[in-house]
Amino acid sequence: MAHFGHHLLTALPGPLLPSIRTYFSLNYTQVSFVTTAFALSGGAGQLPSGWLADRISPAISIAVGTLGVAVGGILVGVSPGYVMLLVFLVIMGLMTGGYHPASTPLILASVDPKQRGRALGLHLLGGNSSFFVAPIIAGFIISVLPGLGWRGPFLILAAPTAIFGLIFYIYLTRHGGMAHVQSARRKAAEEKPPQAGYKRRLIAYLVMMVLGGGAGMSVNAFLTLYMVDVLGASDAKAASLMSIMYLPGVFGMTIIGGWISDRIGSVKVIIVTSIISGLIIFALKSATMGFGFYFVLFIMGLNMAIRMPVTEVFIMSQTPARNRSTIYGVYYFTMQYTGAIFAPIMGNLIERYTFDTMFTFSAYAVTAVAVATSIFIWDAKD
């Protein structure tokens, strides 16, 4: 539930890009800075948050990460102009950093090692549910309250985000929740060192995330604009269609992904899903608006849902317990920063070479990087 509440607002910038672009009369490069400002600051917040989570109570990190996002969402909703919108998105992004580096190690240390994949899958079910629900709610709010426009979803969804943050903080700071936190930390401290060669595998995986992941995330950043400008969808429809990608996560595919990882090992799932990510982009650019396009979005979401819990299990198995939150901070930082840096570049290149050309390039890049980096991680053991 905490993961669900945390992502209600963080799921909004992408789906609302068409409405924000129309309101401020932005070009592709300018509108890309909306997601870039949020992603860069979100990435920047992960590193200090990961370092702090290894040293302070995770309850504080999680509370700041959720309540801070709610405050940031309100500021975004009342921003008077484009520049202040970017400033407030930076503030909201910085506040997101407290949640993941603290919550993921806490969950992993709380369950039997043979069930870690499924536990993370259940946790990610909450986050995926937000990314499914938030675009639908945003499209509904824009349709029902056109006077508020893109501001409405930020202002309205800030309330449940704050409520979830308060509830979870109260639980973690009371006797039962605090005992759970302390028990999880004791278990983590007793774990054996990771498998030899873990630094090589971590570096290779980060390269996969930076190069391949960056190319893939830049496609995701422009999906709503692609739907509007190439496929002819309305702003509200484009925002709502993004929820299709998160249907698999809502229906438990993150748990299935974790279950598969618990059975055959995380590295096999990572390699296969990473290669599939590139192939899906080829299908995406070939589909027209209708069932075919919706199906590609669903498969894209299915692939992401299966991979997400598995990557976190992989990172845990390759990281010493004492540095785990710090490494997760680096991981989330990398995910945020690559998309943020690639998005403006992609926006500029789309203006010059069209969506079709740049989506084709991204498809080749994601596939090639996945194949190359898999050579350096294939020997990993959970």
CATH of the domain at 315: 1.20.1250.20
Whether residue 19 is contained in a domain is answered as yes
Closest CA to 221 of 143, 281, 302: 281
Residue-wise pLDDT for 222-258, tens only, equals 898 999 999 998 888 888 888 898 888 777 777 888 8
More confident residue, 339 or 352: 352
Whether residue 382 is contained in a domain is answered as no
pLDDT tier for residue 337 given thresholds of 50, 70 and 90 = low
Q: How many domains does the chain have?
A: 1
Whether residue 320 is contained in a domain is answered as yes
- Whether the CB-CB separation of 284 and 151 falls below 8 Å is answered with no
Q: Please say if the pLDDT value at position 179 is more than 60.
A: no
Containing domain of residue 255, as a range?
Answer: 2-374
Whether residue 358 is contained in a domain is answered as yes
**Backbone conformation region of residue 32, classed left if phi is above 0, alpha if psi is from -120 to 50, else beta:** alpha
- C-alpha separations of 54 from 130, 136, 185, 328 in Å: 27, 36, 10, 11
DSSP annotation of 234 reads: -
pTM for the model stands at: 0.69
Helix (H) or strand (E) holding 156: helix 151-173
More confident residue, 280 or 44: 280
